[in-house]
Structure 1
Amino acid sequence: MTQRPLPSWPDTAPDLIAVAAGRAPADMVIRGGTWVNVHSRETLPGHDVAITSGRIAFVGPDAGYCIGDGTQVIEAEGRYMLPGLCDAHMHIESGMLTPAEFARAVIPHGTTSMFTDPHEIANVLGLAGVRMMHDEALMQPVNIFTQMPSCAPSAPGLETTGHEISPADVAEAMTWPGIVGLGEMMNFPGVAAADAKMLAEIAATQRASKTVGGHYASPDLGRNFAAYVAGGPADDHEGTCETDAIARVRQGMRAMMRLGSAWHDVENQITAITERGLDPRSFILCTDDCHSGTLINDGHMNRVVRHAIACGCDPLIALQMATLNTATHFGLEREIGSITPGRRADVILSSDLRNLPIEIVVARGQVVARDGTCLVDCPHLDWPASARGTVHLGHALQASDFHIAAPAGANSVTANVIGVVENQAPTRALKADLPVQGGLVQGKGDVCQIALVERHRATGGVTNAFVSGFGYQGRMAMASTVAHDSHHMIVVGTDTAQMALAGNRLAEVGGGITLWRDGAELALVELPIAGLMSDRPAAEVAQAADRMMQAMRDCGCQLNNAYMQHSLLALVVIPELRISDLGLVDVRSFQAIPVLEPQT
């Protein structure tokens, strides 16, 4: 089953005019609410909204003349009528859900528009995977716009992906109906160096008059930043402080401030508005990465808006940053982002503008959720066999695959260690003195082993290194085929035998996340589609994810949303240290470095 496409404004203009002029009845009237006008930044009590053909025909103090025998009337009873919320930058795969199940999870939270970058599946399945995500997105009862992934691999020469994205792929995708722009341009050194491939992708997007997404994950705001902005990216979500946000908007970019499951970057940037008084039109709220547990238990864009308000932001400004600002940025101000004539009829009813309870959600003129329950069907794509069974190890893993040999005769070594930073995407480049036993380097204290296992081409390759910050104790290991962005397999553990058990288990089930301790599996999240997603209901996946988080805590990890930290340890475009199939990467210099420092 597919959803009937929403007719365009020009196609429905005669119907909209007829209803607004009183010559025809509306399909729906929301009566007696407080209109939250994000254009004028006002709340206007005692207003009605008339809807026909999935679009808004009239907003005013009295739409009684638009009501006919067949008109559905919703009594707002003074509640706030808000525009449907927009997520400006996100990855559906990070929810471990398909687009259909992601939509089902977020509709009750008032999200009616999403701007998604499926670069996770692009790394595994290439353009064919992007098309599957795009096609299922268009089947949904809410607006899921797709940005064509730009960087697979994210950093050429520093990692190997299952598939690569080319300028020709980008040019082809720009002709698809649901593509609104280019996904985050993560190869910021390439853009700054005028890399021909990166500039060709940007040019193909700009020639199609679509938006180029940005990703500048560097504290350097000098010439490299200037060169990156000159290359064309129009927004950035990698800022972590007020200085970052200000630098971006001063250069004409939109500063996207994110609150995901593990990325808490709103509070440190929103002071540019609340304290420095900058014009909020250039600021946008987004989630970037939210796993299913966050969606089910905490919310989606409603959670981000509430958080912005709690950080001191005026509620109407916070709402602008989650509605109109997003729509304007993507050239869709005349389609979504406000409750005004001609726009898609995406409306939320809420009794409290600060705490933002989502009581009724209307999308495209249809009641899609009420009091936390999704009321509509979210159709699934028939995912083919080619999208499943994507874990190819080459051989069964052994404990010896994870051994790190010390230099001959050494009793201790100095290792370069990836340092996890709670609630942020960047890591630290640390050094640790580690003991040697039987010729093998051992973890010590909070330092344990990390390995990246190649899983796309069955090469049998295993890269070993060290990581700190998880606080794991005992004989344990955790493995995941979600490993942004190359999506090989990441295994973190204190015991090499447990690491082998965990890796082999994921090969057996076709991908996912597993945690082992003392030879037994404590938790498993099966993700059979590309090793990234489940097509099971979000609540089921969230329960499995909750069990995984509890298992991590049982093994000593107290980090907030530590799984998200685990899954980004291979993202070789965010400083400082990362792991790839080609080695340990220093993202400050974009060079591979040795795991063990040379003996002196």
Structure 2
Amino acid sequence: MKVDLLIENALVFNIFLKRFEQQHVTVSNQKFYYISDQDLRYLEPLEVIDAQGTYMIPGLIDIHMHIESSMVPPAIFSGAALSHGVTTVVADCHEIANVCGMEGIEFFMEQETLLDIFYAIPSSVPSTTPELETTGGLIGVAEVQALLQHPSVIALGEAMNFKGITEESPSLIQDILQTVHRERPFLPLEGHVPRVSGETLAKFLYAGLTADHTHQSPASILEKVKSGMFLEFQKKSITAENMAVLEEHQLYEHIALITDDVMADDLLTGHLNENMRLAIQAGMPIEEAIYTSTYTPARRMNFQDRGAIVAGYKADFLLLDDLETLSIASVYKNGYRVHQRGEEMAYPSVDLSIPEPFLNSVHCKLLTEADLRIPVSTHQEAVLCNVIQIHPIGTFTKLVQREIPVKNGFLDFENSTCALVVVMERYGKNGNIGYGLVEQAIDQKGSIATTWAHDHHNLMVMGTSITDMLAAQAEVIRLKGGYVVFQEGQQTGCCPLPLGGILSTEPISLLGEQLKGVRQAMQALGYRNTNEIMSFSTLSLPVSPQVKITDFGMMDVHTHTKIPLLAGES
């Protein structure tokens, strides 16, 4: 038998022994053929690579991520991910589904990519119910049944409706879960299980949800793994104390490293490979970082053809020239080199056929000063208000109460310690406007506005200045979506996202710089968080603890109880 490619003298990572061995590797018809420490030139390879001094590992597999967080469609994302050694992803495209429904999912699935993209059915569109948040699309049982027939669908995406899952009364998410159990009984079901334990955790497991990717702690890791749950570690869970628990109890069979969300500016420098580096720095052995970024994710998703360098598996692999830093010399997909260090990153512009509704998806009125003047029926100088308090790490929030001054019968948030946040329904359905207050957000005079508001992606604007809030909201509408920052009357950050209000077709090299500018402008306003953009954009995610806001107003995430702006009101 003649082979297409021979890689000689590489230090090849054996997944099953978790160690490197000097081997020669052959590739035939895009798959690994024979791997040996003996001379393999008798197989008459068409191409020979001398990989002396390099480490050969399988292509990276990210089984829980949302392509939309990169703010580009799959056709552009593909090249960027491959540049960072990611050769397979499982994408839950619930962001575009919330904006455009099935049309959005089909738009993603129809794009041709060199990267292998499999799909998890968006199970939570909306993340709660239409009575709690307005979305452009809706994924119900009929849509799930149709998607179950698609050959690229290999999982059910994260089930997020806490109340719908845990309560006995019928709900859409329960209907979806029953449909999948009946029609594809061995499909992996992904969960969204933040700060859940005890009997409530048992209810998620009882519903069939066997994985969690949310923020973990040492205690949650032990309880969830002991309960049979597979854990997927995104950046905010990669901490020294969490890695110590994994190492002490040797839990690597029960976990995978994932990204969940990688924004355009971060994608300039890394993807799953960056989380691997972080895990190693936090105490995870290099061998386990490779193992949990290749083999365990493949096993979780029932892949039988990737995740290891063995005969019969897809010839997806990386050559590293420095193991400690995971420095990538070259990336191979199906046995062909698709990226080499020193070459320009594969961030092309792509000419896509884009449906017209995606290009004109922001349909809400311009705010007026009157919309931001909140009347208060009191003669007192201040009134007690319910306030969302932002945590400086991650996306968790909590409910606090603060005295807000009153001026001329209106809430004087501009001279308080809080910012006003407004969420406007932007699909032209009902014109809802939800109001809230936010503490520990920004401390300078200015405003931030976006249509990238998890997961419903309505228009959200937050500020400490009415003038700047009006300007930022008007600019986002003019751009047909995106991020805009104003400070003291001047625009200081801008990232247009005209495709569905959440995506761009610009090269990531440009988009990343624009988003970096937004991040810096937010920091200049005083926003302090490990990921300012994600913190802001998830203020509107009503399944992420503890209190968030939608176009219906503020609500408790676990009970779905609406929280009035003024304390004491019903």
TM score, norm. by length of structure 2: 0.95
Taking the aligned partners of 1:470 and 1:377, their CA distance within structure 2 comes to 36
Question: 2:163 corresponds to which residue?
Answer: 189
Displacement after TM superposition at 1:63 (Å) = 5.3
Displacement after TM superposition at 1:510 (Å) = 0.9
SS at match of 1:32: strand
User: How many residue pairs align between the two structures?
Assistant: 564
| The 10-residue stretch of structure 1 (571-580 or 495-504) with the greater mean CA deviation from structure 2 | 495-504
The letter of the residue matching 2:150 is W
Q: How does 1:529-548 map to 2 (within 5 A)?
A: 529-548=499-518
Question: 2:359 corresponds to which residue?
Answer: 388
Taking the aligned partners of 2:351 and 2:50, their CA distance within structure 1 comes to 33
The letter of the residue matching 2:32 is I
Which string of whole-angstrom CA distances, capped at 9 and with x for unpartnered residues, describes residues 261-316 of structure 1?
A: xx3544443232123x133101111111110111103x111111111111111111
Taking the aligned partners of 1:597 and 1:558, their CA distance within structure 2 comes to 27
The letter of the residue matching 2:115 is V
2:274 maps to which of 268, 278, 303: 303
Displacement after TM superposition at 1:245 (Å) = 1.6
2:227 maps to which of 251, 275, 286: 251
| The 10-residue stretch of structure 1 (554-563 or 397-406) with the greater mean CA deviation from structure 2 | 554-563
Q: How does 1:377-526 map to 2 (within 5 A)?
A: 381-393=352-364, 395-443=365-413, 444=415, 446-457=417-428, 459-474=430-445, 476-526=446-496
Displacement after TM superposition at 1:145 (Å) = 1.1
Answer yes or no: is 1:53 the counterpart of 2:29: yes
Taking the aligned partners of 1:546 and 1:375, their CA distance within structure 2 comes to 19
Contact 1:50 1:66 in 2 (8 A): no
The letter of the residue matching 1:77 is Q
Contact 1:104 1:378 in 2 (8 A): no
SS at match of 1:56: strand
Question: 1:16 corresponds to which residue?
Answer: none
Taking the aligned partners of 2:312 and 2:178, their CA distance within structure 1 comes to 32
Question: 1:273 corresponds to which residue?
Answer: 246
Contact 1:511 1:527 in 2 (8 A): yes
Taking the aligned partners of 2:118 and 2:175, their CA distance within structure 1 comes to 22
Answer yes or no: is 1:241 the counterpart of 2:212: no
Question: 2:90 corresponds to which residue?
Answer: 115
Displacement after TM superposition at 1:377 (Å) = 7.5
CA shift in 2, pair 1:534/1:62, >3 Å: farther
| The 10-residue stretch of structure 1 (194-203 or 447-456) with the greater mean CA deviation from structure 2 | 194-203
Which string of whole-angstrom CA distances, capped at 9 and with x for unpartnered residues, describes residues 525-558 of structure 1?
A: 1111110111111111001011111212222334
SS at match of 1:359: strand
2:193 maps to which of 216, 223, 233: 216
1:40 maps to which of 10, 17, 23: 17
Displacement after TM superposition at 1:381 (Å) = 4.0
Question: 2:116 corresponds to which residue?
Answer: 143
Question: 2:99 corresponds to which residue?
Answer: 124
Contact 1:404 1:464 in 2 (8 A): no
Question: 1:325 corresponds to which residue?
Answer: 296
Which string of whole-angstrom CA distances, capped at 9 and with x for unpartnered residues, describes residues 435-487 of structure 1?
A: 1112221235542111101101253332111112223302x111000000111
Taking the aligned partners of 1:140 and 1:266, their CA distance within structure 2 comes to 33
Question: 1:62 corresponds to which residue?
Answer: 38
Taking the aligned partners of 2:324 and 2:238, their CA distance within structure 1 comes to 20
Question: 1:561 corresponds to which residue?
Answer: 531
5+ long unaligned stretches in structure 1: 1-22
SS at match of 2:209: coil
Taking the aligned partners of 2:31 and 2:349, their CA distance within structure 1 comes to 20
Taking the aligned partners of 1:251 and 1:380, their CA distance within structure 2 comes to 47
TM score, norm. by length of structure 1: 0.90
Taking the aligned partners of 2:427 and 2:39, their CA distance within structure 1 comes to 58
Taking the aligned partners of 2:467 and 2:225, their CA distance within structure 1 comes to 50
Taking the aligned partners of 2:156 and 2:349, their CA distance within structure 1 comes to 26
The letter of the residue matching 2:146 is E
Contact 1:257 1:266 in 2 (8 A): no
CA shift in 2, pair 1:551/1:588, >3 Å: same
Which string of whole-angstrom CA distances, capped at 9 and with x for unpartnered residues, describes residues 496-550 of structure 1?
A: 2211221121111111111122333222111111101111111110010111112
Contact 1:404 1:441 in 2 (8 A): yes
Displacement after TM superposition at 1:162 (Å) = 1.3
CA shift in 2, pair 1:129/1:361, >3 Å: same
The letter of the residue matching 2:425 is E
Contact 2:472 2:485 in 1 (8 A): yes
Contact 1:130 1:148 in 2 (8 A): no
Taking the aligned partners of 2:350 and 2:288, their CA distance within structure 1 comes to 34
| The 10-residue stretch of structure 1 (344-353 or 100-109) with the greater mean CA deviation from structure 2 | 100-109
5+ long unaligned stretches in structure 2: none
CA shift in 2, pair 1:321/1:514, >3 Å: same
The letter of the residue matching 1:75 is D
CA shift in 2, pair 1:67/1:461, >3 Å: same
Displacement after TM superposition at 1:597 (Å) = 0.7
The letter of the residue matching 1:192 is T
RMSD, matched Cα: 2.0
Taking the aligned partners of 1:153 and 1:163, their CA distance within structure 2 comes to 8
Contact 1:103 1:378 in 2 (8 A): no
Taking the aligned partners of 1:466 and 1:222, their CA distance within structure 2 comes to 32
Taking the aligned partners of 1:404 and 1:268, their CA distance within structure 2 comes to 45
SS at match of 1:525: strand
Displacement after TM superposition at 1:66 (Å) = 5.5
1:283 maps to which of 241, 255, 259: 255
Contact 1:420 1:467 in 2 (8 A): yes
SS at match of 2:89: strand
Which string of whole-angstrom CA distances, capped at 9 and with x for unpartnered residues, describes residues 215-274 of structure 1?
A: 112x24121210111101121011420111222222222111111xxx354444323212
Taking the aligned partners of 1:358 and 1:240, their CA distance within structure 2 comes to 29
SS at match of 1:368: strand
Displacement after TM superposition at 1:414 (Å) = 1.3
Contact 1:419 1:468 in 2 (8 A): yes
Contact 1:205 1:211 in 2 (8 A): no
Question: 1:13 corresponds to which residue?
Answer: none
Q: How does 1:3-22 map to 2 (within 5 A)?
A: none
Taking the aligned partners of 1:80 and 1:250, their CA distance within structure 2 comes to 34
